[in-house]
Structure 1
Amino acid sequence: MKVTVFIPTYNSERYLSDILDAISAQKVDFEFDILIYDSESSDRTHQILDDYAQKLTNLKWKEIKKATFSHGRTRQEAALEATGDVIVYLTDDAMPATKHWLRHMVAPFSISDRVAGVVGRQIPRSHCVPMLKHEIQYVFDVEQGVPDAITLHQREPEETTGVFTKKTFYSDVNSAVKRDFLINTIGYADVPYSEDQQFGRDIIDAGYIKVYSGVGAVIHSNDVELKHYKNRLFDEVYNMRKLSGKTEKLPFSFVMKQILVTSWRDGKKIMAEKNYSFKTKLYWLYTNPKYIIAKWQGLYLGHKVDLNDRKSYLKYSLERKEEHQV
């Protein structure tokens, strides 16, 4: 068996060296290579990739045009070029947490031929905004499974198809899929956003198994600036609405209640956090509620904006505000 690790990059200098070091240090009993597509980075990404390509004989990278990048299409194109039997997808800010990460991401495919995809655990970075930290911990340590085991998700016959649930949840921050399955059975849709969530829904709806690997962990949390966070959440909700075909507006009173409840709950957790200094606690008590407000603003707008209102979409979308984002 051979495995290909694919990473799309764009202005990735902050974490890229550490990620490549962590991948190259993996302890496995199979062959693997690294494939990288860079979308015209303007920072030191190219220099880092050139340096590592000289050191690592199993690393290949190429530049693609920003205008041609698509979350779904680019990952599907990478599958066509990949030489591995299994493709492991990472984002350019997700670092393997252990030297056994790659082995754990690939191992579940031996359970059954019906295993179509593997989603790995995410551990928030130490500097992560408390609100995001708590959300990541809930999704990956509670909702999807437990940290030290694997959990199988499969739709029951009586369940409704086409619905996004915790079973269909999928994240290309840290995932794995058989190359043959992507090419010949179910591939990534050519969509601008939420390609992973659609893929997760498609494989569950088709009766396949999604595995959550609590042991295949990466260190990851989005370093989104406060000024952009509302727009990021807008994109997530807006595009999930487009994929599901469902529209459900959030009452303003509900939004206000969630802001107050979450701020109070997070505040108690911040004060109880043993790894925070008193100064850090004061900082997060002041800053964290701003992220909560931005989150619910984005969710509210994402549910409210008409899917045919192109002007409002362009106004609120972070994907369209930036030249490129991976």
Structure 2
Amino acid sequence: MTEALSPADGASGVEDASPAAVDVTVVILTWNGERYLEAILASLRQQRYDGVMEVLVIDSGSTDRTLQIVAAHPEVRLHEIPNSEFGHGRTRNLAAHLAHGRHVVYLTHDAVPSHDRWLYEILKPFELNPRVAAVMGSQIPRPWCFPLLKYEIRAVFQGFGPGFGTTLFYVDDFVQDEAVRNAVTFYSDVNSAARREVLIGEVPYRDVSYAEDQLLGRDLVDAGYLKAYAPRASVVHSNDMTLAEYDERMVDETKGLREVGIDVAVPAWSVIARMVVRGVVRDQVHILRDGDFGLLRKIYWSLVNPLFHLQKWRGVRRGALEPLAPVGH
């Protein structure tokens, strides 16, 4: 028997349920994720959802309080793997095979559902069309996130459709331009859901070092499935990164895009200079109007945010120049 979450008094409670009775498995991938994990689990227990939910944590060698937090929640299934065995696509495939639900919902250990109907919203598109194989929810940056990332997250998700309805994406003869194709197939699994039968069957995650979600989005659409964007299924999420870490992050992201077949041109230093200036000027307007920042923080970010722009484009250039490892399957 597996302990699962199910509705009780308008919210999700705990009951024993056989694997066959589980409707959805919420997977949280953790590695030293103590900072937000308790908030995620608390939010999951508050979800207003009519089906039976189980929560599966796959931990890859945490050395902080992550495992103690999970142990304090007996309704949560825990599966541990060595850190050396973690892979962005590989571990998500493992989760799909371990899941009991018909749908697998993925959260990273720093993505906190923002309201009690999040689960309902991210699963609803599957009911609307049987060809929907994957759903991407939206992300709300944390108030203290550094401005470049904060405003970038907002712009990216606003670009995928209005916040009041669901948008479906597919490829047909209309899609001729590679940039349009990349936009149509874009996928983020920070906050996402997929049909389990598809993941363990026709279109699994591929074992790549990065950008596994982008590749899955492309593979699903190429296989004839629909990809949905459900903006009302929102999580609070933005990466907590230092200036030095951001450079490495952009290297990894750029290499990951190249590994899955998305061309990234090597930006000349003149292009980088132009992009940095453009981004700094754009962000400065937002910083001055940002109600999350007090006066001192606005002054601080006015001085520091330009360095993040420089790190971003330095990282893109490095990632576009470095050799690639072979793509796994």
Using structure 2 for the length normalisation, give the TM-score.
Answer: 0.89
Q: After the TM superposition, which residues 120-131 of structure 1 pair with which residues of structure 2 at under 5 Å, given as runs?
A: 120-131=137-148
Query: Which amino acid is 2:116 matched to?
Result: K
Q: Distance in 1 between matches of 2:177 and 2:78?
A: 38
How far off is 1:245 after superposition?
6.4
Query: Which amino acid is 2:240 matched to?
Result: D
How far off is 1:162 after superposition?
8.1
Provide closer, same or farther for how the CA distance between residues 279 and 247 of structure 1 changes in structure 2, counting only shifts above 3 A: closer
Of the candidates 196, 205, 215, which is equivalent to residue 198 of structure 1? 215
Query: Which amino acid is 1:177 matched to?
Result: A
Superposed CA offset, 1:130-184 (max 9, x none) = 110111001112x111222111111122435987511111111000001111112
How far off is 1:128 after superposition?
0.7
1:132 aligns to what? 149
Of the candidates 209, 216, 226, which is equivalent to residue 209 of structure 1? 226
Structure 2 runs not aligned, ≥5 long: 1-21
Give the aligned CA root-mean-square deviation in angstroms.
Answer: 1.7
Query: Which amino acid is 1:248 matched to?
Result: A
Partner SS for 2:205: coil
2:63 aligns to what? 42
Superposed CA offset, 1:280-319 (max 9, x none) = 10011111111111101101111122437x9xxxxxxxxx
Contact 2:214 2:260 in 1 (8 A): no
Q: Distance in 1 between matches of 2:261 and 2:268?
A: 20
1:28 aligns to what? 49
1:157 aligns to what? 173
Of the candidates 238, 250, 258, which is equivalent to residue 275 of structure 2? 258
Q: After the TM superposition, which residues 103-252 of structure 1 pair with which residues of structure 2 at under 5 Å, given as runs?
A: 103-141=120-158, 143-160=159-176, 165-244=182-261, 246=263, 248-252=265-269
Provide closer, same or farther for how the CA distance between residues 299 and 118 of structure 1 changes in structure 2, counting only shifts above 3 A: same
Provide closer, same or farther for how the CA distance between residues 108 and 43 of structure 1 changes in structure 2, counting only shifts above 3 A: same
2:113 aligns to what? 96
1:321 aligns to what? none
Query: Which amino acid is 1:151 matched to?
Result: T
Q: Distance in 2 between matches of 1:148 and 1:189?
A: 32
Partner SS for 2:228: strand
Using structure 1 for the length normalisation, give the TM-score.
Answer: 0.90
1:284 aligns to what? 301
Partner SS for 1:286: helix
Asked if 1:17 is matched to 2:17, the reply is no
Q: Distance in 2 between matches of 1:48 and 1:303?
A: 39
Asked if 1:76 is matched to 2:93, the reply is yes
Q: Runs ≥4 in structure 1, deviation > 4 angstroms?
A: 160-164
Q: Distance in 1 between matches of 2:140 and 2:164?
A: 13
Percent identity for Structure 1 against Structure 2? 39
Q: Distance in 1 between matches of 2:150 and 2:35?
A: 20
Superposed CA offset, 1:110-143 (max 9, x none) = 11111010000000001111110111001112x1
Contact 1:161 1:205 in 2 (8 A): no
Contact 2:257 2:264 in 1 (8 A): no
Partner SS for 1:52: coil
Provide closer, same or farther for how the CA distance between residues 83 and 162 of structure 1 changes in structure 2, counting only shifts above 3 A: farther
Q: Distance in 1 between matches of 2:229 and 2:59?
A: 28
How far off is 1:204 after superposition?
1.4
Query: Which amino acid is 1:159 matched to?
Result: V
2:318 aligns to what? 301
Query: Which amino acid is 1:174 matched to?
Result: N
Provide closer, same or farther for how the CA distance between residues 132 and 245 of structure 1 changes in structure 2, counting only shifts above 3 A: closer
Partner SS for 1:90: strand
1:313 aligns to what? none
How far off is 1:274 after superposition?
2.8
